[in-house]
Copies of this chain bind each other. A is one copy, B any other.
Amino acid sequence: MSLLVSGTVALDSIKTPCGVRPRLLGGSASHFCMSASFFTKVALSGVIGKDFPQKYIKLFQSKDIDMKSLVRKEGKTFHWNGEYKKGDFNTALTKSTVLGVLAGFEPNIIDAHQSIPNVFLANDDPEIQAKVLKAVKMPRLVGLDTMNLWIEHKKKPLLKLIKKVDLFVANDAEARSLTQENNLIKAAKALRKLGPKMVVIKKGEHGFLFYSDEIMFAYPAYPVEKVVDPTGAGDTFAGGLMGYLSQSKTLSKKALKQALCYATVMSSFNVEGFGVERISKINKNDINKRKNEFLKFISYQ
C-alpha cells in the first residue's frame, strides 16, 4: 500500500536561539513526506516555483518520493520567514510570508495517484484540501491536519471537510479553538462529533492524546534535551503516524499504538535539527533504536 500527501512545499527562513538558516526545505507536505517515506511509498501533491532548489528535488528523490503530482509553476516558491524566541519553542513568530505560486494554486493529482488508498491532507487551505480529497477514488484511510489561520478564516469549508475524514490531527491550541473546549478530553470528544472516527491531539513537548469511540490513550513526548528548531514537528509526527498505518494491514489498537510511537519518535528527531536536516540524516536503525528507548520511557514494567 502507499500514501498520498497534499500540502505546502515551502522555503523556510528560520531563526531560533540555536542559529539562523535561510531558505530551508519546509512546508507541511515536505516535512510529512520526509517522515512518512521511512515507512511506505509516498506520493507528493503540491506546488513549487522556479526558484525551488534542485538539491531539495534530489533529497525527495533520495527518499523515493513520487513527485508526479507536484506542480512547478512560474513564480516563487511559498516562503515563510519565522522566529522562535529563547524559552518559547511553542510560539512561531511569523516575520513575513510570501505566498508566491501558492496563490490561486489548483491541485493536480495525476490519474495514477487518484487510486492511492491512504491520503493525508497536510496543513493547507481547506478548500484546496477538499479538492484533493474529491480527486481521490475510494480511499482506505484519510487523515487531515489544519492550523489556526483556517479555523479562524475558513471555518465553514473546514467543518465540511472534517466530516469526510477518518483521522484528524490537531495541536492543543487548534483543538481548543475549533471546539471552544478548554479541557482536552472534552475537546477530543467534540472533535469526534465533528466526524472523524479517530482524533489525535498533539501537545508538543507533552506528547499526545488519542481518542476514538473504542479507546483513549496518551503518551508523553520522547525526552529531547536539545531542541534546535520545532518547525514541522507536527507534520513529521503525522508523517510517522500515517506512514506506519499505510503499510499496516489493519487499523487495530495495536497498530495505532505502534504508529503513534513512531510518530513520536519521528517528531523527536525533527526538532533536533533545523528544517529537515536531522530527519534527512537518520536511518531505520536510528528510528527503531529510539522507539525502543521511548517504550522504556513510557513503560510501567
Name A's B-contacting residues (CB within 8 A): 86-87, 182-186, 203, 205-207, 209, 216-220, 223-227, 257, 261, 295-300
Contacts and interface: CB of A to CB of B under 8 A. Distances in A.
A225 B187 CA distance: 10
Contacts of A182: 86-87
B220 A216 contact: no
A184 B300 CA distance: 21
Contacts of A297: 216-218
Given A206-B207, A218-B298, 19 more contacts: A183-B224, A183-B225, A183-B226, A183-B227, A185-B223, A185-B224, A185-B225, A186-B225, A206-B220, A209-B220, A216-B223, A216-B297, A217-B296, A218-B223, A218-B297, A220-B220, A295-B300, A298-B300, A299-B300
Nearest to A218: B220
Contacts of A206: 203, 206-207, 220
B224 A298 contact: no
Contacts of A183: 224-227
* Residue among A216, A223, A227, A257 with the highest chain B CB neighbour number at 10 A: A223
* Residue among A86, A186, A299 with the highest chain B CB neighbour number at 10 A: A299
Nearest to A220: B218
A186 B225 CA distance: 6
